[in-house]
Amino acid sequence: MASVTQLGYLGLSVSDPDQWEQFAAHVLGMQPNGRDPDGSLFLRMDEYHHRIVVHPTGKNDLAYIGWEVATEAALEAMAEQLRQAGVAVTAGTSEEADARRVAGLIKFADPSGIPSEVFYGPLVMFDEPFHSPRPISGFKTGALGLGHFVVWVDDFDRSLHFYRELLGMRVSDFVKISPAPDVKVTVAFFHCNPRHHTIAFAKMPRTPRRLHHFMLQLQSLDDVGATYDLCQARDIPIVMKLGKHTNVHMVSFYLRTPSGFNVEYGWGAREVDDSTWQVQVHTAGSIWVHQGTL
Ligand SMILES: [Fe+2]
């Protein structure tokens, strides 16, 4: 089976890219890396030209997902696997590849209609090492990809089939949560490399946007603590206080972005070894509680 290897990039649609640049640089510690003529802002976390692109298209939601594979042959195998399953796949043009700073890509939609891309050949900048605008030790990325993200989907079973059977991801575990007194949902967590989860999703009615949060993993607990202090000092909304997750064992907190969705800022996740990993079902999201309401 063809499989994606990591979350290479995320595209976000935002209403205020200038506010986003300040937030990403001086709160999250990402490095702005210029804008395209259409106003798209590139944000670095590591040697990649960018890991997040902020597009001034105003929807304040996820714009697209960028899944990476290793080679052009792997990209073709992925395209074939999707087409065999009846998914409409289009080849990215050379202009589209240039805009994403990759060697080649394909485009399709996931079962909820979320624009999705698989690419190979990211532009990397080892000649200009990543330099955070903040005094943090940096982000844990590399082969683990940029981090993870959580979305609300329209059909849980169709999405599970799509991400497992068509993108080649593996289930890590399930967590049953109760985000409101009368609401119970199951969140499914998937990995495509040792990062415990790269995507997680649930079906939940009446959500204002697809994207619930994306997660940035720091190299040091001190990075997380210093940013926690900074958010409190600057009145940046913390929507969930520090806690530790049951399944991934990450210590993290959640802060609100200028677009209304959240960022999880964390450290210390355990990793998955597919030769020994056992899927579990968790009855709660946190071991010691992330106080607050997401
Ligand atoms: Fe998360």
The rounded distance, in Å, linking the Cα atoms of 201 and 186 is 8
CA of 246 to the centre of ligand 1 (A): 11
Q: Please list, in sequence order, all residues whose beta carbon lies within 8 angstroms of the beta carbon of residue 251, skipping any fewer than 6 positions away.
A: 221, 224, 242, 243, 244, 266, 267, 268
Could you tell me the CA-to-CA distances from 186 to 3, 23, 44, 261 in Å, in that order? Answer: 24, 31, 33, 20
CA of 199 to the centre of ligand 1 (A): 9
CA of 149 to the centre of ligand 1 (A): 6
Which residue is listed with tokens 């079906």? Answer: 203
Report CA dihedral (156, 264, 238, 136) to the nearest 10 degrees. -170
Identity of the amino acid at 15: S
CA of 179 to the centre of ligand 1 (A): 14
CA of 257 to the centre of ligand 1 (A): 14
CA of 242 to the centre of ligand 1 (A): 13
Tokens of 36: 């395209």
Give the single-character DSSP code of 135.
S
CA of 251 to the centre of ligand 1 (A): 10
The rounded distance, in Å, linking the Cα atoms of 108 and 206 is 25
Beta strands in the chain (DSSP E): 6-13, 31-35, 41-44, 52-55, 61-68, 90-91, 102-109, 115-122, 148-152, 170-180, 183-191, 199-202, 211-217, 238-245, 251-256, 262-267, 280-282, 286-288
Contact 14, 258 (CB under 8 A): yes
Question: What is the CB-side half-sphere exposure of residue 95 using CA atoms within 13 A?
Answer: 1
CA of 73 to the centre of ligand 1 (A): 32
Q: Please list, in sequence order, all residues whose beta carbon lies within 8 angstroms of the beta carbon of residue 157, skipping any fewer than 6 positions away.
A: none
The rounded distance, in Å, linking the Cα atoms of 52 and 32 is 10
* pLDDT tens for the 294 residues of the chain, in order: 999 999 999 999 999 999 999 999 999 999 999 999 999 999 999 999 999 999 999 899 999 999 999 999 999 999 999 999 999 999 999 999 999 999 999 999 999 999 999 999 999 999 999 999 999 999 999 999 999 999 999 999 999 999 999 999 999 999 998 877 888 899 999 999 999 999 999 998 777 899 999 999 999 999 999 999 999 999 999 999 999 999 999 999 999 999 999 999 999 999 999 999 999 999 988 988 777 766
The rounded distance, in Å, linking the Cα atoms of 251 and 290 is 9
